[in-house]
Amino acid sequence: MDDLRQTYIDLIANAPDEATLEDLRLRAVGKKGEISLKMRELGKMTAEERQVAGPALNALKDEINSALAAKKSALENAALDERLRSEWLDVTLPSRPRRAGTIHPISQVTEEVSAIFADMGFAVAEGPQIESDWYNFDALNIPGHHPARAEMDTFYTHRAEGDERPPHVLRTHTSPVQIRSMQDQGAPIRIIAPGRVYRADYDMTHTPMFHQIEGLAIDKNISMANLKWVLEEFVKAFFEVDDVELRFRASHFPFTEPSAEVDIRCSWEGGTLKVGEGDDWLEILGSGMVHPHVLRSGNVDPDVWQGFAFGMGIDRIAMLKYGIPDLRAFFDSDLRWLRHYGFAALDVPTLRGGLSR
Ligand code: PHE
């Protein structure tokens, strides 16, 4: 009995886990366990033998049972200690976002463009996105019957029944800011006006809301030559190349005369855009000398002042510079897209720091 006792006490003391302990319990004091079998043999003993063996076996059974219970709770405590150690958490630490947000490419490019023009003395101007049709059209020399009105796929606001006033429009371009800025500041003036514009159009390269940046420079002796220099400086800085070739193609806008659409020399070799080399041309903006009617709408005297204006698609140049194929994805708010194409929040574009760092 002493051997039995010693064997089980040792085995229990060394049991590594609760499963082993349960095994030992069955082997020792289970229904068919060694101690239980010994107890069954008591029946075959003489009364004297039984008087000695009975209490001894019972004492052994109790001892084994309490050894099992003690070991079980020791194992449970050890498991709990281990969990407390591994799941330890300092709730007093300051919170920390798992991922920082990113700057949308439109915001990034707007900042880049603004930094470049600010360096050339242009201030940023703004105007409302819901415009009167006078600012959006008439003031810009686009009268009621002009085909440009139809071409712009304009969104009109609703007027109450019987209200004869012309409806407001979601501005179809940033050009109305030319008028508002001239009215507010007079001449001379040098502004750029980035912002949202709206046209009913939807495909790979068109969304009903998109972004333009307007430029306006009015002074006493501003010419197309100044326009050309400013745009060349802009394109070099924006696409981060030393040399560019611009092509001015005669065009027509009601609000400029003469008018030109501007292309940049580029190559699409291997499917990637390279600005400044190659045999392709890429249209990036519309421009021209501000029409005298437009100056008059802005209360600026066309006999004294003249200047240039241009309008450029921000989304378009963002797609080109950062190789983003589908415009519609810009406005889907898809987190994976934003993380892929977004910019680190603290990388504010500056000319000194390198724009697209
Ligand atoms: N407003 C024109 C457009 O949306 C662009 C433009 C602006 C052209 C200024 C000439 C001068 O297409």
Q: In tens digits, what is the pLDDT along the chain, a chain of 357 residues?
A: 888 889 999 999 999 999 999 999 999 998 898 888 888 888 888 888 888 888 988 999 999 999 999 999 999 999 999 999 999 888 888 877 667 788 999 999 999 999 999 999 999 999 999 999 999 999 999 988 887 787 778 999 988 899 888 889 999 999 999 999 999 999 999 999 999 999 998 888 789 999 999 999 999 999 999 999 999 999 999 999 888 889 999 999 999 999 999 998 888 888 777 888 889 888 999 999 999 999 999 999 999 999 999 999 999 899 888 888 788 899 998 989 998 998 887 777 777 766 765
Say how many Å lie between the CA of residue 240 and the centre of ligand 1: 24
For residue 352, is it within any domain?
no
Nearest CA to ligand 1 atom 2: 311
Whether residue 205 sits in one domain with residue 64 = no
For residue 234, is it within any domain?
yes
Atom of ligand 1 nearest to the CA of 197: 4
Is 309 a pocket residue for ligand 1 (Cβ < 6 Å)? yes
Nearest CA to ligand 1 atom 5: 311
Alpha-carbon distance of 158 to 168, in angstroms, equals 8
For residue 349, is it within any domain?
no
User: Ligand 1, residues 136, 175, 214: which to mutate, most atoms within 8 A of Cβ?
Assistant: 175
Whether residue 203 sits in one domain with residue 70 = no
The domain tally of the chain equals 2
Provide the residue range defining the domain that includes 47.
2-86
Nearest CA to ligand 1 atom 9: 310
For residue 94, is it within any domain?
no
Output the CA–CA distances (angstroms, integers) from residue 129 to 181, 182, 219, in the order listed.
Answer: 15, 18, 27
Question: What is the identity of the amino acid at 296?
Answer: R
Whether residue 335 sits in one domain with residue 191 = yes
Is 288 a pocket residue for ligand 1 (Cβ < 6 Å)? yes
Whether residue 27 sits in one domain with residue 70 = yes
For residue 357, is it within any domain?
no
Task: Check residue 357 and give its pLDDT.
Answer: 56
Whether residue 67 sits in one domain with residue 149 = no
Backbone φ and ψ of 94, nearest 5°: -65, 150
Whether residue 162 sits in one domain with residue 238 = yes
Whether residue 187 sits in one domain with residue 330 = yes
* Residue where a domain stops, chosen among 86, 115, 134: 86
Whether residue 226 sits in one domain with residue 133 = yes
Say how many Å lie between the CA of residue 196 and the centre of ligand 1: 14
For residue 207, is it within any domain?
yes
Atom of ligand 1 nearest to the CA of 173: 4
For residue 49, is it within any domain?
yes
Atom of ligand 1 nearest to the CA of 175: 1
pTM, entire model: 0.71
Q: What angle do CA 9, 12, 14 make, to 5 degrees?
A: 110
Q: Report the CATH number that the domain containing residue 210 is assigned in CATH.
A: 3.30.930.10
Task: Check residue 159 and give its pLDDT.
Answer: 87
